Amino acid sequence: MAPTASTIKAYDNTAPDQAATETATFALGCFWGPDAQFGALDGVVRTRVGYAGGTITDPTYHDLGDHTEAFQVEYDPAERSFLDLLDLVFRSHDPTQQTRKTQYQNIIFVATTEQREALTDYLDANDYTVDGIATRVEQLSRFVPAEDYHQKYSLRNKRSIMAAFEDAGYDETAIRESPAAATLNGHVVGHEVSDADALGIASNRSVHST
């Protein structure tokens, strides 16, 4: 089974638009893995990978400067909360350890007062403090999308699925911002997705997402 241009378009057309979603930004090492992991979650609408946390104006993969590989999650707050995302973030890495290489460090970026308050509540509930963990906590100042070939990286290796996006007339930006691409990117690496039928794909038996 493989998605078609019509199933991809139908899926994306029924997804919440950006005005109805909220955005969270995190860094958890190489951004390919979490992009797929979070894209498979119910309530997550869109994902994208990029660079954040640094000072240079135009970071690129080969000239990151002091930026870190990061990913953004656009989610429907009626289905998935920022606290839910934080819980998965903390379960996906060891907050007592931090890699020395800036490119792959673990960072929680907060963009709003509400996100900072939610993070404080989460840390308190789990006996953590900002000063007591190695994971960096930073105010998000800017997120720079990574190069096209990094967006939905695992999905790009599935030619049969990518052909459907081409048939649907999607350009690189449309693929990056596509809810169907976010979900399928998680599916192709083995994460279970609840929308398998809507996308015309077989359900994965091994459940990696929550």
Q: Please list the active-site residues.
A: 30
Q: In the structure encoding, which two tokens stand for residue 165, read together? A: 């996006």
Residue type, 94: D
CB 199 within 8 A of CB 7: yes
Residue whose token pair is 């903390």: 90
Interior angle at CA 103, CA 100 and CA 109, nearest 5: 100
CB 68 within 8 A of CB 104: yes
Q: Is 97 helix (H, G, I), strand (E, B) or coil?
A: coil
DSSP H or E segment with residue 120: helix 113-125
d(CA 100, CA 47): 26
List Cβ neighbours of 91 (8 Å cut-off, separation of 6 or more): none
| Centroid of chain to Cα 193 | 15
d(CA 148, CA 141): 22
Residue whose token pair is 């920022």: 82
